[in-house]
Amino acid sequence: MSKVLMKGNEAVGAAAIKAGCKYFFGYPITPQNEIPEYMSKKLPEVGGEFVQAESEVAAINMVYGAAGSGARVMTSSSSPGMALKQEGISYLAGAELPAVIVNMMRGGPGLGGIQPAQSDYFMSVKGGGNGDYFMPVYAPASIQETVDLIQEAFDVADQYRTPVMVVADGMIGQMMEPVEFKEMPHRKLEDKTWSTDGTKEERKPNVINSLFLDAQDLEDHIIRLEEKYNLMEENECRWEEYKLEGAEIVIAAYGTTARIVKNAIDALEKDGIKVGLIRPITLWPFPKKAFDHIDSTTTNVLTVEMSRGQMIEDVRLALNGKLPTAFFGRTGGVIPTPAGVVEAVKKLVGGAK
């Protein structure tokens, strides 16, 4: 298939529909409005439905209803809206329902701003809703990767019966890039025999539920969920490595920040400073194994984020004290520049080892 030039947000919608998403429930918030706009236009054409909900809380609960009914369903929002969706995400996780949730992040806290940021890392990967749960979180760095990962996200959601989040900063949503809608390899998926479509009085009622009043029952349920999370940690970690071999400094960065970092790495190479990159593609499960691939030549790790430093905690856990870890980041919608990253690296080089 040939490439088409598309705005990130519209590509999200197109990828979802290609993946078989028939239902979308959302509420407007900048910088992701083109996603619901696109879905409102395109879903009726494929026999699906779009509802502009009265709030993000309602939207995610509509997702809960549709997911429990066996449909492929998606919602999207940006940071303050995603905060409201946390209630429903916890319910989706508790009731083991598959759905895809897209967050085009903007700066916060509070109403914050509308420029790109990566400050919802904690909220996404540490369980922003109540209770013991995790969900796969994908962080694409280009529109092409967004398109590929959205399609993958629907399969992963169905395979594990879990909500899946795709987080990108507002830049991905707003910029245009050529994309190709490839035929993705499909996973082997089981029929959704657990979903509600009426018993026809031929089977026992199906119940979609996250309530366990008996403490032992709830502990058993959570431990079963944990076994699923362990499987995902084993099988679903994804990351990209760039110029790790012989690197003196290794940078950890994700999403568009990682693209900026690559430019800095190439510039530093010309100055004779060897820097490598680990780019987590799944923020949860966090690709800890990638940090075992760091060369013995490396003296420091630098985490670069569009936040005041959130992923750095997972990087430190992955390194487990093996290497000193520094941080460079801009936030509030200010985008780090390659020059800023170069300067941060140069401070580390020849510094305390």
Partner 1 sequence: MAVVFKETKGLTDAKTHYCPGCTHGIVHRLVGEVLEELGVLGETIGVAPVGCSVLAYKYFNCDVHQAAHGRAPAVATGIKRVHPDKVVFTYQGDGDLASIGAAEIVHAAARGEKFTTIFINNAIYGMTGGQMAPTTLVGQKATTAPLGRDPKKVGMPMRMSEMLATLDGAKFVERATVHNPAGVRKTKAAIKKAFEMQINGEGFGIVEVLSTCPTNWGMTPVDSLKWLEENMIPYYPLGNIRTPEGGDK
First vs last Cα of the chain: how many Å apart?
Answer: 50
DSSP string, 8-25: HHHHHHHHHHHTT--EEE
Assess 53 for contact with partner 1 (CB under 8 A): yes
Q: Which is nearer to partner 1, 11 or 71 (CB)?
A: 71
Q: Which is nearer to partner 1, 44 or 351 (CB)?
A: 44
Residues 59-78 that bind partner 1 (CB under 8 A): 59, 61-71, 73
The minimum distance between CB 9 and partner 1, in angstroms, equals 22
Rounded Cα distance, 353 and 349, in Å: 9
Nearest to 185 by CA among 142, 155, 219, 217: 155
DSSP string, 97-129: --EEEEEEEB--STT--SSB--TTHHHHHTTSS
Q: Which is nearer to partner 1, 99 or 237 (CB)?
A: 99
Instruction: Assess contact for 166 and 153: CB atoms under 8 A.
Output: yes
Assess 263 for contact with partner 1 (CB under 8 A): no
Residues 204-233 that bind partner 1 (CB under 8 A): 205-211
Q: Which of 16, 25, 118, 331 binds partner 1 (CB under 8 A)?
A: 25
Q: How many CB atoms lie within 10 A of CB 60?
A: 30
Instruction: Using alpha carbons, list the distances in angstroms from residue 177 to 7, 117, 150, 215, 221.
Output: 7, 20, 16, 51, 44
Burial class (CB in 10 A: 0-12, 13-18, 19+), 40: middle
Scanning 2-10, 103-111, 202-210, 269-277 for contacts with partner 1 by CB under 8 A, the matching segment is 202-210
Nearest to 243 by CA among 266, 223, 222: 266
Instruction: Using alpha carbons, list the distances in angstroms from residue 310 to 90, 200, 328.
Output: 21, 50, 11
Q: Which of 45, 183, 190, 202 binds partner 1 (CB under 8 A)?
A: 202
Assess 198 for contact with partner 1 (CB under 8 A): yes
The minimum distance between CB 181 and partner 1, in angstroms, equals 25
Q: Which is nearer to partner 1, 207 or 339 (CB)?
A: 207
- What one-character DSSP code corresponds to residue 287? -
Q: How many residues does the chain have?
A: 353
Q: Which residues contact 202 (CB under 8 A, 6 or more apart)?
A: none
The minimum distance between CB 215 and partner 1, in angstroms, equals 16
Q: Which is nearer to partner 1, 6 or 51 (CB)?
A: 51
The minimum distance between CB 46 and partner 1, in angstroms, equals 14
Q: Using CB under 8 A as the criterion, what x/- string covers residues 138-177 for binding partner 1?
A: ----------------------------------------
The minimum distance between CB 212 and partner 1, in angstroms, equals 11
Radius of gyration from C-alpha coordinates of the chain? 21
Residues 88-127 that bind partner 1 (CB under 8 A): 88, 91, 95
Q: Which two tokens stand for residue 131?
A: 């209770």
Residues 282-341 that bind partner 1 (CB under 8 A): none
Residues contacting partner 1: total by CB under 8 A: 41
The minimum distance between CB 21 and partner 1, in angstroms, equals 12
Instruction: Using alpha carbons, list the distances in angstroms from residue 239 to 32, 75, 83.
Output: 25, 25, 26
Q: Which of 190, 201, 214, 234 binds partner 1 (CB under 8 A)?
A: 201
Scanning 49-57, 131-139, 157-165, 261-269 for contacts with partner 1 by CB under 8 A, the matching segment is 49-57
The minimum distance between CB 95 and partner 1, in angstroms, equals 8
Where on the chain is the footprint of partner 1 (CB under 8 A)?
Answer: 22-23, 25, 49, 51, 53-55, 57-59, 61-71, 73, 87-88, 91, 95, 196-202, 205-211
